[in-house]
Amino acid sequence: MNVIVVTGMPGAGKEEFVQVARSLGYDVVRMGNAVRAEAKKQGIAETDKSIGGFADQERRLHGFDIWAKRSALNVRSERTIIDGSRGLDEMDIFRQFFGDGVLLVAIHSSPESRYPRLKKRGRPDAPASWTEFVARDKRELGWGLGNLIAMADVMLLNDGEMDEFKAMVKAFLTGLG
């Protein structure tokens, strides 16, 4: 099985990684989609604060690995990207489900690069200000995201041109075989 878990701070470039992987035939399971779908079922507003608060509440009620458990059930292919892991507890679940061969890839990008990307996306949960951006980063780091990034098997830097980053991702994924 060739399951790759992708992590990184919001706006780091996980989406671009996923797009390249899809073009190479990988299936994609997005942990954020699991959060948003469950939030919608429960009538939670589609704002960063509401969705983030809901995700945090579910982690506190059901364990910090709840979103990994829910997302792992959606893996259907030998070649799958799991997008959006936030902590080591989640990675432990993926290793339980898919074995020790699961590869953890972290995408890194500076806050100065990530903030305008998030604003440009135009999603309802995009930060309206630098203060909201910093608060979101702190929340995500509070879930253990920094520890997960530090434990990555592979680190890809995304602070240059998008075409360069996509070429790097394609070369990396192609090299995996």
Structure confidence by residue, pLDDT tens digits, 14-71: 999 999 999 999 999 999 899 999 999 999 988 878 888 898 899 999 999 999 999 9
- In the predicted structure, residue 78 carries a pLDDT above the cut 80: yes
Amino acid 6: pLDDT: 97
Amino acid 100: pLDDT: 84
Amino acid 1: pLDDT: 61
Which tokens go with 82? 């799991």
Amino acid 22: pLDDT: 97
**Single-letter code of the amino acid located at 58:** E
pLDDT tens figures, 117-167: 999 888 877 898 999 999 999 988 988 899 999 999 999 999 999 999 999
**H, E, C per residue of the chain:** CEEEEEEECCCCCHHHHHHHHHHCCCEEEEHHHHHHHHHHHCCCCCCHHHHHHHHHHHHHHHCCCHHHHHHHCCCCCCEEEEECCCCHHHHHHHHHHHCCCCEEEEEECCHHHHHHHHHHHCCCCCCCCHHHHHHHHHHHHHCCHHHHHHCCCEEEECCCCHHHHHHHHHHHHHHHC
Q: Burial level of 132, CB count in 10 A (0-12/13-18/19+)?
A: middle
Q: What is the value of pTM for the model shown?
A: 0.88
Amino acid 48: pLDDT: 75
User: What structural domains and CATH numbers belong to the chain?
Assistant: 2-83+96-170 (3.40.50.300)
Amino acid 155: pLDDT: 97
